[in-house]
Amino acid sequence: MDALIDLVNTIFWGYILIYGLLAVGVYFTFRLRLIQILHFPEMLRSVLRADATDKSGITPFQALCTSLASRVGTGNIAGVAVALTLGGPGAIFWMWVVAALGMATAFAESTLAQLYKVKDEQGRYRGGPAFYIARGLKAPWAGGVFSVCLILSFGLVFNAVQANSIADAMHGAFEIPKLWTGLAVAALSGVIIFGGIAAIARTAELVVPFMALAYVALALYALVTHLGAVPAMLGHIVGSAFGIEPAAGGVSGAVAAAMLNGVKRGLFSNEAGMGSAPNIAAVATPDPHHPVSQGFVQSLGVFIDTIVICTATALLILLSGVELGTVTGTQLTQAALEAHVGGLGRYFVAIAIFFFAFTSIIGNYSYAENALVFLGHGHVSGVVILRLGVLAMVVWGAIQSVATVFNLADASMGLMASINLVAIVLLSGTVVRLAQDYLAKRKSGVEPLFIASEMSDLPPGVDGEIWKRKR
């Protein structure tokens, strides 16, 4: 069984998804005419506005913070360190490249999630890839497979992995028994997730900016205190990325290692194209009232996750003087921080892991709840069972090795990501049409409002009641 799972993961993550995610990112970047670069200010405008008249969804800023809660996890601390160890400083350059491409992919999938969203029995917005696959492509069976894979991977197993990271960090820094950590994290998570999507959004809105700003502030401190070394460091990153500098194993081998590890870590960290973030993008009330505005918001999420947070980790490590290859993963980031701030570094890493991983747990759960609604089990008993399952996995993950189950979750996520990539490419014409409509209205000085009945060339499946003219 383990051999079969490993084979599936090798196919998915060694070939299909690495090249597929990159290809789709390039495709949308050019088809949308560099929208993520030329219209970057629109991302900031979309995230800072909020429609107070529509109570069916969360605010764009809450949606951004909740998606970042899931995106920004232990991979931003340990994953970047691994990429640097295996690929050298050049890996960071390729992380930047893949993030720039991924911003276009995130724009596309979140725009579609907004377009095809629905209201549940309580009048709350629901949506995501399963919904645009079922309603836009008329393939509800594929939406069902996607939803099951999302619940298994993001809802259950990945939350066990995050709990495991928290327990390891707390035990290493403060010698707290792992079981006690698991129980505490489960209790804290339970308080939030039993409050539903709205409570998760409010928590993310408070915690995510705090944790991100604190982490970036430390990186800026390292930057300022080592300002003279910055030009050489940037040159080292670019030189290593293109093999300009001499490297062991030959130039071509060094470039390949930098590219492979940078691309992998970038894709895994920002989740663009995976089909996860669109689940919370659909829940937002966009302002302006147009699907594209939430596409811009989630594109900004990729930028913050990789260009900002992952780069902060890279700066801390590369400016620390710690030699790459002596240690890796969390230990490398920890050693780098100790070089910058002394013994406090070890505790800072533990606290950062706690916040990054804990917010990932509640963010991941929000995705799983949307998938459960699509499967028709969004009633009280179904949601309660899912929540209890998540909390049980948190406790279990804190005290157990999760390697085998994690491999299974990787395979599950690989399948859901593959389904999502096919779907957004097939629906790419709709994304382009919506983007053209939004930008044309913005250029003419008109508020970009989307009215479904006025765009007759859209495929069926859009809820006309949601996307009607507001009075």
pLDDT cut 90: percent of the chain above it: 51
Q: Is the pLDDT of residue 134 over 90?
A: yes
Backbone angles phi, psi at 58, to 5 degrees: -95, 170
Residue of 82, 6, 7 lying closest to 404 (CA atoms): 6
Q: How many residues does the chain have?
A: 471
Backbone angles phi, psi at 466, to 5 degrees: -70, -40
Return the structure tokens found at 219. 């990186």
Residue of 58, 28, 65 lying closest to 298 (CA atoms): 65
pLDDT at 249 (0 to 100): 47
Q: Is the pLDDT of residue 192 over 50?
A: yes
The three-point CA angle 105-134-12 to 5° equals: 50
Q: Is the pLDDT of residue 246 over 60?
A: no
Asked if residue 218 lies in contact with residue 340, where contact means CB atoms within 8 angstroms, the answer is yes
Return the structure tokens found at 408. 């299974």
Return the structure tokens found at 133. 């696959």
Q: Which three-class secondary structure state does DSSP give residue 118?
A: strand
Give Dmax over CA atoms of the chain in angstroms.
Answer: 67
CA pair distance 172, 387, nearest whole angstrom: 29
CA pair distance 64, 125, nearest whole angstrom: 16
More confident site: 19 or 267: 19
CA pair distance 127, 283, nearest whole angstrom: 7
Q: Which three-class secondary structure state does DSSP give residue 126?
A: strand
Helix ranges, 427-457 (H)? 428-443
Q: What is the mean pLDDT of residues 170-197?
A: 92
Q: Is the pLDDT of residue 290 over 50?
A: yes
Name the band, by pLDDT with cuts 50, 70 and 90, for residue 79: confident
CA pair distance 410, 6, nearest whole angstrom: 9
Residue of 139, 143, 105 lying closest to 126 (CA atoms): 143
Mean pLDDT lowest among 31-45, 130-144, 407-421? 407-421
CA pair distance 383, 334, nearest whole angstrom: 38
Q: Is the pLDDT of residue 57 over 70?
A: yes
CB atoms inside a 10 Å sphere around CB 462? 22
CA pair distance 372, 382, nearest whole angstrom: 8
Q: Is the pLDDT of residue 344 over 50?
A: yes
pLDDT at 406 (0 to 100): 64
Backbone angles phi, psi at 87, to 5 degrees: -115, -5
Q: Is the pLDDT of residue 250 over 50?
A: no
Indicate yes or no: pTM above 0.85: yes
Render pLDDT for 311-327 as a digit per residue (tens, 0 to 9): 999 999 999 988 887 77
The three-point CA angle 124-288-150 to 5° equals: 45
Mean pLDDT lowest among 223-232, 265-274, 384-393? 265-274
Residue of 164, 368, 387 lying closest to 279 (CA atoms): 368
Q: What is the mean pLDDT of residues 9-35?
A: 87
Mean pLDDT lowest among 73-77, 98-102, 381-385? 73-77
